[in-house]
Amino acid sequence: MRVSFLLVALLGISLLIGGCKGDLKGEIKLGPQNQVQKKDDEVTLLLKKALKVYQQGRFGEAIGELHFAISQIRSRQVEEYKKLLPPPPKGWEADEPTSTMVTPSLLGGGIKASRMYHGPSQEEVEVTIISQSPIIRSLLSLFSNFSLLGGTDNTRFFLYKGEKALEHFDPQGGKGEIDVIVGGKGLVIVKGTGLPKTSSLKVFLSALNWKKIEAFMDQG
């Protein structure tokens, strides 16, 4: 069964890389949608090598190359999520964005990208984007049964750009958080401290490119 799965995967790879003949240094034939990338990147080289060693009957080595290629693709996917985080508002500073593949023991797994922002009056806001996490299903259930929150003070349910959102803000402590479900597949969290009002959080929400975020969520 393992070899059969490997055969199917490598047949797909063969179609993707244009039926390579084992030359790992040459260029591949590309369709019009890929004309910008004319030379082989690292992932393509790994896939070509996996196909080559498979054709030589070196199945274990082929599986290893495929696993490494998958890890490289995931790393690239994680890096792309950092680009979704907004720049700091005028007068604010920001740390470098971070992103990671979350282990199943944390948030049930998935992809997490976040960035910390520092305001001129000691305010701090963190924007986090989570995708491919089972926790999102749990939140959807909670949002659908808002009464389960028990009418918590300073907490309200609302729609943001047509998406289900939950807002909590403590005016005395200047702490708040807004959680927005994106297409039932992702979650955006904006939380902060030292804030004068909840609208400070919405500044960061409005700075996000929602169409691009939704497109990423659809891609998985």
Determine how many CB atoms are found less than 10 A away from the CB of residue 200.
19
35, 56, 81: which is the final residue of a domain? 81
Express each pLDDT in 51-105 by its tens digit. 888 899 888 988 888 888 887 887 787 788 899 999 999 999 999 999 887 655 4
39, 56, 81 — which closes off a domain?
81
Do residues 77 and 89 both lie within one domain?
no
Nearest to 10 by CA among 63, 68, 76: 63
Residues 99 and 201 in one domain: yes
In which domain, by residue range, is 66 found?
A: 2-81
Please tell me whether residues 66 and 136 are part of one structural domain: no
Three-class DSSP category at 130: strand
Shared-domain flag, residues 154 and 100? yes
- Which whole number is the average pLDDT over 202-207? 94
- In the predicted structure, residue 188 carries a pLDDT above the cut 90: yes
Q: How far apart are CA 78 and CA 208, in angstroms?
A: 17
Residues 189 and 126 in one domain: yes
Count of domains observed in the chain: 2
**Across residues 208-216, what is the average pLDDT?**
89
Element (H, E) at 125: strand 124-131
Mean pLDDT of the chain: 77
Mean pLDDT of 164-184: 89
Report the CATH number that the domain containing residue 91 is assigned in CATH: 3.40.1000
Alpha helices for 56-182 (secondary structure H): 59-82, 135-144
Pair 47, 105 in one domain:
no
Question: Does 50 or 14 have the greater pLDDT score?
Answer: 50
Q: Does 124 share its domain with 193? A: yes
Q: Using the structure block, give the residue that is written with the tokens 């797994």.
A: 109
What is the average per-residue pLDDT within 114-128? Answer: 95
51 and 135 together in one domain: no
Clarify whether residues 77 and 12 are in a common domain.
yes
Asked if residue 163 and residue 109 are part of one domain, the reply reads yes
Which tokens hold the place of 81? 């999520």
- At residue 25 the predicted structure's pLDDT band, cuts being 50, 70 and 90, is very low
**End residue of a domain, out of 81, 110, 144:** 81
CA distance 142 to 166: 10
Q: How far is CA 160 from CA 29, 54, 188, in A?
A: 44, 50, 11
Instruction: Please tell me whether residues 90 and 76 are part of one structural domain.
Output: no
Tell me the Ramachandran region of residue 151: left when phi exceeds 0, alpha when psi lies from -120 to 50, beta otherwise: left
Q: Does one domain contain both 171 and 89?
A: yes
